[in-house]
Every structure is written in C-alpha cells, then in structure tokens.
Amino acid sequence: MKKSYPVVLFILLLCAVTSKAQQQQNPYEFVETPPVLLRKEFSAGINIHSSGWGIDFRRGRNLTVSKKRMLEIEFVGMHHPKEIKSINPYYENSKAFVFGKLNSMMVLRTAYGLQQVIATKAEWGGVEIRLNTTAGFSLGLLKPVYLNIIREDFPNPGFVVSIEKFDPDVHTIDLIYGRANFFRGFSEMKPYPGLYAKAGLSFEHGRYNDDVKIIEVGMTLDAYTKRLPIMAMTKNNQLFVNFYINILYGRKW
C-alpha cells in the first residue's frame, strides 16, 4: 500500500500541470470586462421640419444612467404657409419669386433639454429610445426681400432691371422679373425675440457605445410677442408649430 503513494502523488501532480497548461494555451477564453461609463456627448446634423429646414448642434452630459442634460443650438429657416413660388410668363429667363413676401425668416434657437431613456439597447447593439424635452429662447430674424423689377428705359427702347425692396403698393406681379440675390438686405435684418419649446422621441442605433447615430421625431413651438411680418395681404403669425425630423451624428466620451 505504501508503494502506491508515489504513483498517486505523480498522477495528481500531472493533472495539476496539465490543467494549468490548458488554461494558459486557450486564447479564446472569454473574459468579461466592465463597460466604460461615457459621460459626455456631442452631435450635429440636419433638421427637416414642416416649414423648412436647418442645422442642429447638441452637447450632452449624463446626470444618471438614464437621464441626460442637453444644451442645444439650432438655426432654421421658416416659411409662411401662404408662400407660393411664381414665374413671370411675359419675360424669358425670369427667376422664381414669391409674390407678396415681405421678409425672409430665419430662427436661432438656444435651449436646455432633458433626455430620459425609456428603452435601452442591448450590449451587442440595437436601438435605444429616449424622450426628449427642450425649452429655451427663439430669436426670429427677418430680412427684407429684394426683387428684380422691370422698368422702361426712357428715352431708349426696351427696359432695364432694377433691384428694389418689395413694396406691395408699388410692385405689381407683371413688373417682377424675379428674386434678387438672397444676401441683399442682410444689413437691414431685424430681430424678434421669443420663446421655444420642443418634445420628441429620439432613436439611437449602432453597435459601438461611443458612436452617436440618432433619428429624432417630434414637435416644436416658437412663440413671439407680436406677429412677424413675413407676407403682405394675408394674416401673419406669432405662434409657429412644426413637426420635425432630426438626423444627428456624433461621439461620446
């Protein structure tokens, strides 16, 4: 019986060495690593809404695992629902214009928002759904519209084209040759301060946690203290409600 002790000891030692070697030689062994907590976020993209389009910039910071504070800056164009493009059929090569349009409207928005996760995505990827609520300031910027106006060239035959600010009491539709350069009138731009609110659902997708790929849908409200003179001969608004789609890309760190 005593003679069997060395044999048993050798077998146990051999099993221990073999098991250790197998552990060291297995390159496919799964080792779980804890996820990295990403606290900050930046994204940029385009905003397409029911009255125009624009660009969007966002900076975010996590408050908790499911809540995020956002700083947002948007710059969008805004059209009046009565805007209809026309072309003067009496003159060749005439340019399109909107008859009755007094001012072009652009909007600069700055706001703080809160994002609440309502459905998380899996570790391997998928879609995360967030509820996004935002409120802040809206600055309406109105630039007067300049048109190319047809004038008779006295005493010479024919006509000349004059660039003039649109005046509904002077400029009839048959005298308009088309819209002048868009940048004409920027020095005469007038600001109209107001308030801004937004609510929407954002859908973030992608395999990598540090990538930002978002499609967001929702509704916006811009409110001003008085009606903004965009169009002549029709009612103008001081409340602007729009539905929107945002497409954003960015990074987390």
Question: By three-state DSSP, how is residue 10 classified?
Answer: helix
Measure CA of the first residue to CA of the last residue in the chain; give whole Å. 67
Strands (E), the chain: 40-49, 52-62, 67-78, 85-86, 97-98, 103-119, 127-144, 146-152, 159-165, 176-179, 190-205, 211-224, 239-252
What residues have CB less than 8 Å from 163, skipping those under 6 apart?
146, 147, 148, 149, 180, 184
Alpha-carbon span 153 to 177, nearest angstrom: 15
Asked if 134 and 70 count as a contact pair (C-beta separation under 8 A), the reply is: yes
Nearest Cα to Cα of residue 198 among 44, 56, 39, 5: 56
Q: What's the CATH number where 126 sits? A: 2.40.160.20
Residue 22 lies in a domain: no
Rounded to two decimals, what is the model's pTM?
0.80
Asked, for residue 186, whether it belongs to a domain, the answer is: yes
pLDDT tens profile 166-212? 999 999 999 999 999 999 999 999 999 999 999 999 999 866 678 88
For 35, phi then psi, to 5°, come to -65, 150
Q: Which two tokens stand for residue 82?
A: 């009565």
* 155 within a domain of the structure (yes/no): no
In this prediction, residue 30 carries a pLDDT of 47
Range of the domain at 95: 40-146+181-252
pLDDT band at 29 (very low <50, low <70, confident <90, very high): low
The answer to whether residue 157 sits within a structural domain is: no
In a domain, 226, yes or no: yes
For residues 113 and 198, is the Cβ–Cβ distance under 8 A? yes
Residue 19 domain-assigned (yes or no): no
Kindly state the helix (H) or strand (E) to which residue 11 belongs, with its residue range: helix 5-25
197 in Cβ contact with 242 (< 8 Å) = no
pLDDT at site 192: 98
**pLDDT bucket at 230, cuts 50 / 70 / 90:** very high
- The reply to whether 27 falls in a domain is no
- Look at residue 33 and tell me if it is in a domain: no
Q: pLDDT: is 8 or 39 the higher one? A: 39
Domain count, the chain: 1
CA neighbor of 214 nearest in space, from 123, 118, 130: 130
The Cα–Cα gap between 70 and 42 comes to 9
